Amino acid sequence: MTAKETLTVLVTGASGGIGGAISRLLAEQGHRLLLQGRNAARLQQIKAELPHSDRHQILVADLCDRAARAELVRSCEQLPGGVDVLVNNAGIASFSLLSDIRDAELGRLLHTNLIAPMALTRDLLPTLQRSEGAAIINIGSAFGHIGHPGFGAYGASKAGLHGFTETLRRELADSKVRVHYLAPRAVDTPLNSDAVNDLNRALGNKSDSPQFVAAQCLRLLQSKHGRRRFIGWPERLFIKVNAFLPSLVDSALAKKLPLVRQFARGETPPTVQDKTAPSAL
């Protein structure tokens, strides 16, 4: 995998469902974890449950706060051997029509999902570039590639993260840093609101466990070259069709608009089973 068997991995959003699953799996593989989040008690609980818990460390920080982010970077730089891997997992979701999104929510979502990981990656690059096993894994979403009604702001933030990942991979092509992108479909985590869960059930959409997503993350980490990986079927098909024949996806999703609008506005529409639409997250 790398020239260094035991890696020091910074996982942002480690207190969430996907972040916790990634941390547990990497700890089981013998790696050293730096667990970032805003909830110290939750981070401490996750750390205590990890194999060899004494070798891991929690870093409480709000990544949208410049000073807190700078302190986190300083902590990473001061570690013996520095940091080998950055997993940009921290993120928030939003299910609402564009007309219902206020500026504060829009700014918080774009800052958390796009600006913060870009800034953190930039600031950690000098440390990462000193590692023989350096890697960056950005956790995106299928909605970064399929413009789904009700998820405009969220999808835009993840589309931006994909564009950033692609550019960074090319900028660092002559370096030792491997840059990966992982796009899950719906995942069973508390990040999903009740409305999102109800929409998924109504449309018959499938979802994955955080542990399954974590396994895909590990596969990327074990790759010798920067990769991008999309999770789920028919989501992978929809992404390809959307790239080459977007009008077909336009037509398929247009049929779902009444249902999406009702769930987004908190109404209770009749249950519908339709497996032709991509998952909601």
Which residues belong to the active site? 154
Contact status, residue 80 vs residue 127, Cβ threshold 8 Å: no
For residues 212 and 231, give the distance between their C-alpha atoms in angstroms, rounded to a whole number. Answer: 9
- For residue 19, which of 83, 92, 71, 69 has the smallest C-alpha distance? 92
CA 33 to chain centre: 17
| Cα(187)–Cα(12) distance, integer angstroms | 17
Report CA-CA distances (Å) from 212 to 10, 123, 157: 20, 30, 23
Residues 135/223, Cβ–Cβ less than 8 Å: no
21: number of CA atoms within 13 Å, CB side? 17
The answer to whether the peptide bond before residue 51 is cis (omega within 30 degrees of 0) is no
H-state helical runs in 78-151:
103-110, 116-128
Q: Alpha-carbon distance 240 to 246, whole Å?
A: 9
